[in-house]
Amino acid sequence: MTSRRVFISMAAIGAASLLGATTVLAQTSPPKSKAVFQVSDADPQKWNLTLNNVRNVSDDLGAEAVELEIVVYGPGIGMLKADSPVGKRVAEALKNGVKVVACENTMKGQHLVYGDMLPNIGYVPAGVVELMVKQREGYAYIRP
């Protein structure tokens, strides 16, 4: 190959690389805002406050721009039971992309099984550890 052909080939490869990088940069969205909410109270008012806060964050920033999780343990776990007074609101939050997780340590301590709980919630081995992990991952920690 002549040096001119090598130069043209290298220039074409460089231009294609630059175009590819520009396309990738244009398609990259800004990082999502992330928040983890702790609920360890059985008080329906605290639950409603938390669910209002979650909805407000989602409305203000846009559901596609946030990752929201509610971690539930201690006395608050009863509000995730199938007959919970806030069950409909929890189900609404789940439908809107909020992750709601129950502490399995608390469930064991209260002799609760998955069948006792609201459908579609998640489970973590230890609620406090989940909060620690989420904070390490850059989640803002909120306890209403």
Q: What is the pLDDT of residues 46-59, one digit of tens each?
A: 999 999 999 999 99
- Does residue 23 carry a pLDDT above 80? no
Q: Could you tell me the residue range of the domain that residue 1 belongs to?
A: 1-30
Rama region for 104: left / alpha / beta (φ>0; ψ in -120 to 50; rest): alpha
> Tokens standing for 112?
């609760």
Neighbours of 41 (CB within 10 A): 19
Domains identified in the chain, total number: 2
Q: In whole angstroms, what is the distance from residue 61 CA to residue 58 CA?
A: 5
Q: In whole angstroms, what is the distance from residue 95 CA to residue 104 CA?
A: 22
- Does residue 22 carry a pLDDT above 50? no
- pTM value? 0.80
Q: Is 19 exposed, middle or buried (0-12, 13-18, 19+ CB in 10 A)?
A: exposed
> Is there a contact between 144 and 70 (Cβ–Cβ < 8 Å)?
no
- Does residue 18 carry a pLDDT above 90? no
CATH number at residue 60: 3.40.1260.10
> Is there a contact between 113 and 87 (Cβ–Cβ < 8 Å)?
no
One domain, residues 67 and 113: yes
One domain, residues 10 and 66: no
Percentage of residues of the chain with pLDDT beyond 90:
78
